[in-house]
Amino acid sequence: MRPLTDEETKTLFTKLSHYIGANIVHLVDRDDAPHVFRLHRDRVYYASEESMRLAVSVARPNLVSLGTCFGKFSKTGKFRLHITALDYLVQYAKHKVWIKPNGELPFLYGNHVVKAHLGRISDDTPEHAGVVVLSMSGTGLGFGVTARSTLDTRKMDPTSIIVFHQADTGEFIRDEDTLF
């Protein structure tokens, strides 16, 4: 477990800003307890400084996880967000999409969100923006990237893709062997 390098931090914050924008400040500068990002086996963990200090006493081969896994760095240096970061993305997201109950199951199986399943969308959502996908009751289901802006979605037919799927809570079951 080690702190992120400047390049890794830049890559992580660039990816997070795609979804939560300037709200990254709320992740780092918390009032309750300071939190940090740490790298362990190519995975980025978000944990309080207190639990990070306690984890130092555990040998690296024996340490499985620390705090919340935000994602993983690929061998090429790109960062991929994991579904385990969804709670923080929902809390601080700039743009949100709510889907109807008949569209929840297809999204949780890994399909894109089509206009027929769209319940609501945040105002002024641009094209190719990171969005958090919520059920109509406000429960976080996953996240993705918009295919069209808010204005363009009104003109589209019901079978057009609105949000490209990136991750959903169904991954806990589908990819449980490789998630951690």
What are the domain boundaries of the chain?
2-88, 95-174
pLDDT at position 172 over 80 = no
pLDDT at position 177 over 80 = no
Residue 168, SS3 per DSSP: strand
Residue 123, SS3 per DSSP: coil
Q: Which of 14-23, 47-56, 127-136 has the lowest mean pLDDT?
A: 47-56
Supply the pLDDT for residue 61.
83
Model pTM? Answer: 0.86
CA atoms within 13 A on the CB side of 6: 0
Fold topology of 2-88: Nuclear Transport Factor 2; Chain: A, (3.10.450)
Higher pLDDT, 180 or 99: 99
Q: What is the C-alpha separation between 12 and 14, in angstroms, rounded?
A: 5
At a CB cut-off of 8 Å and minimum separation 6, what does 37 contact?
3, 4, 9, 12, 44, 45, 46, 70
Supply the pLDDT for residue 65.
84
Q: What is the mean pLDDT of residues 122-127?
A: 92
**Tokens 């996240």 -> residue:** 143
| CATH assignment, 95-174 | 2.30.130.10
pLDDT at position 143 over 90 = yes
Question: Please, what sign has the CA dihedral across residues 169, 170, 173, 178?
Answer: negative
